[in-house]
Chains A and B, each alone.
Chain A
């Protein structure tokens, strides 16, 4: 693969799948600085992985794998310790202040609550929750994680219940505060 081909694929993926990458980042890191750190790592890994991409897996499956593997290996603040922190993506401004074309404020609030709940899940469960919410099939999730479809089903049942409990807890906490 030539450098131009790699660059073209990267630009296209960035254009088409940026939402997917950001969902993984926001689901795994809480503060905007941590999100920026993780996002840089994800982009770097995706860029490095492109020469190995032969089109055998779907692009989304590939990107999910790279992003989740990067998120699992990522350590809070490690990059900042390792090198000077240089921000090139304005996470503070995105996506909160850049509302999507269809989401209502109520839906945006639900999404924020969901992110907060997902971040409380164990890392592997968080990755399954993110893919499930994105509507991936059991087969696709099994390809990303490397476990059987049956087990994915079992885990998702548990995760749905955990998410419901966490969201209920959040609401209860707010009601008590009022």
Chain B
């Protein structure tokens, strides 16, 4: 059988087919609208969780730092809390700017396949870079500020419990987050990058 015969058989299928939809055909449209809203909500809340946490922490530590201050030379704001607030604000701003920049670079589903694959590959490469460098842009500023703050609190209140909290909770948490980022790169992002590179190679 030659290709023309295959093509003829192929083009005979579905010629007058109508889709079978459960119940009313309007259900399909309703379902699509629902899923679009759901998808929008997932994206929105994803952004809120990702960025909002840092900004809430910024507000909390700023309040902690400023609440006892009366701005005289004898009663300055609690600089240690403000340092943590500053670190949180820095990380949050970095995330927000990154999200805005990446959103602008996104292609739409109606772009040519090659452009979409290239854009996806760039996005994955950027995610890999972010996750691999999570120590520098997230954990280092955050844990350094907390470490300074807790050490200062231990000295001020003459108690080792702040230091213990730092060593037993904050540092293991940072280490766990760091390992999790690297695991994500290894298990999710690297295979995706290889897949996209293979797709792109098949178009070159």
Contacts and interface: CB of A to CB of B under 8 A. Distances in A.
A62 to B, nearest CB: 6
Interface string B108-152: 111111111100100000000000000000000000000000000
A19 B3 CA distance: 21
Interface stretch (B14-22, B48-56, B89-97): B14-22
A68 B113 contact: yes
B15 A102 contact: yes
Contact of B114 (A53, A94, A145): A145
B29 interface: yes
B12 A107 contact: yes
B13 A108 contact: yes
B36 interface: yes
B101 interface: no
Contact of B113 (A44, A72, A93, A164): A72
B16 A88 contact: no
B38 A93 contact: no
A133 B203 contact: no
B109 A14 contact: no
Contacts of B164: none
A144 B28 contact: no
B12 A103 contact: yes
B7 interface: yes
Contacts of B27: 88
Contact of A23 (B14, B36, B203): B14
Contact of B6 (A23, A66, A133): A133
A159 B39 CA distance: 36
Query: How many A residues are at the interface, by size bracket?
Result: 35 or more
Given A44-B36, A94-B20, A103-B12, A146 B110 contact: no
A69 B111 contact: yes
B21 A65 contact: no
Contact of A66 (B7, B38, B110): B110
Interface in B57-80: none
Contact of B110 (A52, A102, A164): A52
B109 A70 contact: yes
B173 interface: no
B20 A134 contact: no
Contacts of B168: none
A125 interface: yes
A132 B11 CA distance: 11
B114 A100 contact: no
Interface string A7-44: 10011001000110011000000000000000010011
Contact of B18 (A18, A86, A87): A18
Contacts of B116: 69, 72-73
B112 A143 contact: yes
- The winner among B33, B38, B109, B115 for most chain A CB atoms within 10 A is B109
Interface of B: 1, 3, 5-22, 27-29, 31-33, 35-36, 38-39, 108-117, 120, 198-199, 202-203
Given A40-B35, A144-B112, 18 more contacts: A22-B19, A47-B36, A52-B108, A73-B116, A88-B21, A88-B28, A89-B22, A98-B20, A100-B13, A101-B15, A103-B13, A125-B202, A132-B7, A133-B10, A145-B203, A146-B111, A151-B203, A163-B6
